[in-house]
Chain A
Amino acid sequence: MGNAVKSPWVLHYDASSCNGCDIEVLACLTPVYDAERLGIINTGNPKHADVLLITGGVNTQNKTVVENLYAQMLEPKVVVAIGACALSGGIFADCYNIRGGIDTVIPVDIYVPGCAARPQAIVTGILQALAVLDAKAKGTHVAVDKTAREKVCR
């Protein structure tokens, strides 16, 4: 296990999600799921974060915000797209302003499906992201599992 794996600090951003997935992300930090037992801290500062938890389908206005947040995070870093909208745009995919998924803007490492994604799924997603983070820290390449993204129904 590498260094980053034991202390993943997360940054949470709502890229035009309906707030459903965001509430579930925050639920992970409550005493019930207690993400801090895994060393997870919610930072709110991209420069301190290792993991970007991002929800929503990204619209034309917050596209630059998402790009900036990603650019401000220091290597090694991973991106976890959470919820149907973050995977493909979800029910908003056909809206005129929705770009349709996080990976239309920044590279995504882990896809967590669900509408809304359950806290258990989110914590599992973060744990999978840690394996990717570890591999990135060691300089090895990891293939991104896109099954959840392709399976998601619209």
Chain B
Amino acid sequence: MTPLLSALLYLVLAPLAGCLLAGLDRVATARMQRRKGPPLLQPYYDIRKLMGKQAAEVNRFQGYYLAGFLCFTAGAGALFFGGGDLLLVIFALTLGAVMLVLAAFSAHTPFAHLGAHRELLQMLAYEPMLILTALGLFLATHSFGVAEIADTAKAPVLVLPGIFVGYLFILTIKLRKSPFDLSSAHHAHQELVRGLTVEISGGHLALVELAHWYENVLLLGILYLFLAPFGWALALAGVALCYLIEIVVDNSSARLRWETALRSSWLVALILGGANILLVPVLLRGW
């Protein structure tokens, strides 16, 4: 498959996969709470409804920022699935996240600003580990190219066990799951009144959801890279298992304070990520 074709396939199929993933997430969460839960396609129904709501822009910038969030996130994913440069993917993803923060800051609401500040703190928390992930994959495979990394003989997870666990740790932040859902509260938690997205409504909120679907598929794609040499079936099963663990953690933990989130993720990056980076030559050669 040519890089262009797979990038286009991502742009078309990622919303479908992301929607199903979000639906499965909600059903699994409901079952863990001994509820029946919504239909599998509930996230799709939500977006369709949001598209039909009355348009209400709080200012003329918000729409552009949100379009930027969607474009950079989907662009990062297209680069990734097109086999591009992993560093560039991470930088584009970060730029997308910055756009979302700007959209929240553009409204003069205390809750939106609180959410935006917390989102910045979360970015501060997960960025070091994200960079270490790219660095680790480079050291293990001698390439930043996603296509080359996916083609290596030895599975990166065997060389980078610490970085794999560290990436799973920050994945909790990126997927906006407890205990690190500081900036944008889930449905049942209302103390932030939705934080980041408090002033984003109707079609604009639909854009945010869509961008999250793209983002989640990309994040799981990075997880897949660690397991790719095991074959696609085993690697996909591994990714599914990791996602299930994330849901269990989400349902079994309360939200932490931002200081704890920042401190713990930096400690994880330093200890698991840093130590793993130092040990890469040893692990590559084998014990």
Contacts and interface: CB of A to CB of B under 8 A. Distances in A.
* A and B found bound together: yes
Contact of B42 (A31, A39, A137): A39
Interface stretch (A42-50, A52-60, A101-109): A42-50
Interface in A21-53: 29, 31, 34, 36-39, 41-45, 47-48, 50
Contacts of B33: 31
Interface residues of A, number: 24
A34 B49 contact: no
Nearest to A44: B190
B35 interface: yes
Interface in B106-141: none
Nearest to A41: B187
B38 interface: yes
B207 to A, nearest CB: 14
B44 to A, nearest CB: 9
Chain B interface residue number, banded: 20 to 34
A53 B258 CA distance: 33
Contacts of B198: 45, 47
Interface in B185-217: 187-188, 190, 193-194, 197-199, 201-202, 205
Contacts of B49: 3-4, 6-7, 50
Contacts of A39: 38-39, 42, 45-46
B39 A34 contact: no
B54 interface: yes
Contact of A7 (B34, B46, B190, B202): B46
A45 B51 CA distance: 17
Contacts of B48: 3, 6-7
A67 interface: no
A34 B53 CA distance: 25
A43 B49 CA distance: 15
B30 A34 contact: yes
A6 B39 CA distance: 10
Contact of A47 (B39, B51, B201): B201
B52 interface: yes
A94 interface: no
Given A34-B37, A39-B42, A137 B52 contact: yes
Contacts of A145: none
Contacts of A43: 187, 190, 194
Interface of B: 26, 30, 33-39, 42, 45-46, 48-49, 51-54, 56, 187-188, 190, 193-194, 197-199, 201-202, 205
Interface of A: 2-4, 6-7, 29, 31, 34, 36-39, 41-45, 47-48, 50, 74-76, 137
